[in-house]
A and B are shown apart, each in its own frame.
Chain A
């Protein structure tokens, strides 16, 4: 029996998943180091190789153990946790346990109305006041903000230096006075995202992640993890959007044309290749040789989900003209499969914008993977306060 199985067996022996309360079981799992095995001992892990996680997950699923619903708490798991691990103090590391169990939901206060792709241009100010920082500004596209207990926040602490140099990274208490969350209705009719208004919100200096002025570097850790998470989903053939559209095709033999057939097959082939590229990426990771292919996955996923959902609406003709429901809803998750084709088409438009636009991603690939020279920049050495806005 391998180490993973032994530890799982020990956990199950002490906490029978059929009789133990869900939360109690998840806490015990965290304390046993089986939450994310590559994290350090004491922080939900065993300092073990990442490859061991899959064994642990499979063994626990087989035993009927509850999971921590990783999709629902994705921002915490995928973005906040790796950043807290890399830059957090011992005090801040205590946030990891309720994060992992899902007791505390996280959101991300990065983007602003005037700073999306150009994130370093953000204007939310944090002014030092004794042991606190006083934060004022407006954030946008914040998913989960209405459920979140904590946020990761980037704010400007020095407007007199060039924009990348004057940022600092904080953990923000979403229940603090001055935090106001307003739903932001989208083209689908849903309010999946929020605007977050911060008015004189006091954040203790102990809630700072990393050094003052080092927020850009800390944010890179968060963003790289986000892109990996967005690009590396499903591994079964026909999982995700392609499966939904293939089922629509199968259900409507009367609507098929030769031209649509070849188009669908072309998209099916691309989806299969994207799936294989994901498998290959995971094999590289397991072999200890991660490549830059994660950004190719994100780019491909966005393009494909848009092409597939557009195809489906067109194929459905008169049914494609209808929409399931325009009611303002506040979903916890993006659920492509539970909604109609019109919803899928409209929501997929966000796939090439959220988590870094496809254009920014192409620049990153061109410069960091292919080594092409950067475009000349006019904002590099100019203090943030002097930049045109």
Chain B
């Protein structure tokens, strides 16, 4: 188990952070150009052959800037599902298109899915990045299908930085291989990586709050000199220490394949709770300015809260955890 950041990961973080700092409108192509879109794809299919540890570091940076890019949906969820089916020639060819950034894909399940998901023949609601994806992957009757024709209706999302759409499929081509296993693997990997995105969000919220508390004066003193406020940010820092360790453990577990289900559900439930609290505290400690559209904290709050629901809520992840750690609940009707 390695819970630290390697030198390679630190370098990757720096190059992603540089790009994100440029406020470019064509962020995804530029991230793709440095290999972010194909991190999880093996080198023989044109990708980087990196591990989930590197994906997690990129997710942290994307969380830190709430960047509106299809990293989670295309480079993590769709890519992981396709990798499970890479015996199929169309899956392989799609993987190389995704890894070069020539196309993006979305897995047609509600973003809130965890452990189960609707069959794609009906209307599938709240699918992340479906509106912008070049390719849709749809689970139908235990197989994963490539979509030939679909009605995609964008909906207004709580988190505008990760757009949602409702999807109705009309024609598809099935991929060979166990589609349900592919979707399950995608959701587990996605949940594990999302924990690192939450850590990035919480980090930004803490840093921004601390900077504001140093600079803003009231009652003739910097706000940060008031103990009542100090204790709140100290507690936030404390929970971020735990969240970072849990998120690193999930990324490491996904990489080594050891302890995956426990590591992912621990990280997902803890990091989501910490990120939402960090964003809420950031807003509160900024006072009135925190409620305005002008201040960026609202985007972090919306992303953190939407992420809390995405790929399983904390409550659902705790329920998932229960049998894995031998902590069964009450016996219903006994």
A binds B: yes
- Whether B110 is near chain A, meaning CB under 8 Å from some CB there, is no
Q: Are A296 and B327 in contact (CB under 8 A)?
A: no
Answer whether residue A273 sits at the interface, using C-beta atoms and an 8 A cutoff. yes
Known contacts A265-B318, A268-B321, A365-B238; A370 and B327 CB within 8 A of each other: no
**What's the least CB distance linking A194 to chain B, in Å?**
31
In contact, A366 and B245 (Cβ under 8 angstroms): no
Verify if A287 is at the interface (C-beta below 8 Å from B).
yes
Distance, CA A367 to CA B230, complexed state (A):
8
CB-based contact A366/B266 at 8 Å: no
B225 with A376: CB separation less than 8 A? yes
- Interface membership of B112, Cβ < 8 A: no
Indicate the member of A270, A276, A287, A297 with the most B CB atoms within 10 Å: A276
Closest B residue by C-beta to A362 = B234
Top 6 A-B pairs ranked by shortest CB distance?
A: A366-B230, A372-B224, A362-B234, A265-B318, A276-B245, A296-B241
Additional pairs, 19, CB under 8 Å, beyond known A363-B231, A366-B230, A370-B210: A238-B325, A265-B327, A268-B325, A269-B269, A270-B270, A272-B246, A280-B248, A283-B2, A284-B4, A293-B241, A296-B237, A300-B242, A362-B230, A362-B231, A362-B235, A365-B234, A370-B234, A372-B214, A375-B226
Contact A279 B210, beta carbon cutoff 8 Å: no
Which residue of chain A lies nearest to B4 when distances are taken between CB atoms in the complex? A283
A265 touches B321 (CB 8 A): yes
Counting CB contacts under 8 A, is B295 at the interface? no
Cβ A250 vs Cβ B230 within 8 A: no
A243 vs chain B, min Cβ distance (A): 11
Residues of A within 8 A of B329 (CB): 256, 258, 261
> Is B233 touching A366 in the complex (CB atoms < 8 A)?
yes
Interface presence of B130 (CB below 8 A): no
Q: Which residues of A contact B246 (CB under 8 A)?
A: 272-273, 276
**Which chain A residues numbered 230 to 274 have a C-beta less than 8 Å away from chain B?**
238, 246, 249-250, 253, 256-258, 261-262, 264-266, 268-270, 272-274
**A261 touching B322, Cβ below 8 Å:** yes
Chain B residues whose CB sits within 8 angstroms of the CB of A266 once the complex forms: 269, 314, 318
CB contacts under 8 Å to B, within A280-326, are 280, 283-284, 287, 293, 295-297, 299-300
The reply to whether B245 and A280 contact each other, CB–CB distance below 8 Å, is: yes
Q: Which residues on B sit within 8 Å (CB–CB) of A279?
A: 1, 3, 245
Q: Is the CB of A276 within 8 A of B3?
A: yes
Q: B4 to A287, Cβ gap below 8 A? A: yes
With CB as the reference atom, state the residue of chain B lying closest to A284.
B4
Q: How many A-B residue pairs have CB under 8 A?
A: 137
Chain B residues with Cβ under 8 A from A269's Cβ?
Answer: 266, 269-270, 318, 321
Which chain B residues numbered 317 to 334 have a C-beta less than 8 Å away from chain A?
318-319, 321-322, 325-331
Q: Does A371 contact B (CB under 8 A)?
A: yes
In the bound complex, residues from chain A placing their C-beta under 8 Å from that of B276 are: none
* Total contacting residues, chain A, CB less than 8 A: 47
CA A280 to CA B221, docked complex, whole Å? 37
CB distance from A203 to the nearest CB of B (A): 37
Task: Pick 11 A–B contacts, CB within 8 A, sort by A.
Answer: A246-B326, A258-B329, A261-B330, A264-B327, A268-B325, A297-B241, A363-B227, A371-B214, A372-B222, A372-B233, A373-B222
Cα A362 to Cα B210 in complex, Å, equals 14
Does B282 touch A at the CB level, under 8 Å? Answer: no
Question: Which residues on A sit within 8 Å (CB–CB) of B230?
Answer: 362-363, 366-367, 372, 375
The answer to whether A277 touches B227 (Cβ under 8 A) is no
Interface residues of chain A, those whose CB is within 8 Å of chain B, are: 238, 246, 249-250, 253, 256-258, 261-262, 264-266, 268-270, 272-274, 276-277, 279-280, 283-284, 287, 293, 295-297, 299-300, 359, 361-363, 365-367, 369-376
Contact of A280 with B210 in the complex, beta carbons under 8 Å? no
Contacts of B238 in A (CB 8 A): 295-296, 299-300, 365
Name the residue among A272, A279, A299, A359 with the largest chain B CB count within 10 angstroms.
Answer: A272
Query: Which residues from A are CB-within-8-Å of B173?
Result: none
Interface residue B249 (Cβ < 8 Å from any Cβ of A): yes
Chain A residue, CB-CB nearest to B332 = A258
Asked, given contacts A249-B327, A279-B1, A373-B224, whether A296 binds B242 with beta carbons under 8 Å apart, the answer is yes
**Any A CB within 8 A of the CB of B315:** yes
Which of A268, A280, A365 contacts B3 (CB under 8 A)? Answer: A280
Q: Find the B residue at minimum CB distance from A291.
A: B241
Chain A residue at smallest Cβ distance from B210:
A370
A359-B231, A365-B238, A371-B214 as given contacts; A276 in contact with B249, CB under 8 Å: yes
Q: Give Cα A256–Cα B332 distance, bound, in whole angstroms.
A: 10
Expressed in whole angstroms, the minimum distance between the Cβ of B200 and any Cβ of chain A is 17
B8 CB, nearest partner CB in chain A, Å: 15
Q: Give the residues in chain B near A367, CB-CB below 8 Å.
A: 230
Q: How far is the CA of A274 from the CA of B2 in the complex (A)?
A: 15
A375→B330 CA distance, assembly (Å): 49
Residues of A with C-beta under 8 A to B214: 371-373
A261 to B318, CA, bound (A): 9
- Compute how far the CA of A238 lies from the CA of B262 in the bound complex, rounded to whole angstroms: 13
Whole-angstrom distance from the CB of B252 to the nearest CB of chain A? 10
Closest residue of B by beta carbon distance from A278: B245
Residues of A within 8 A of B235 (CB): 299, 362
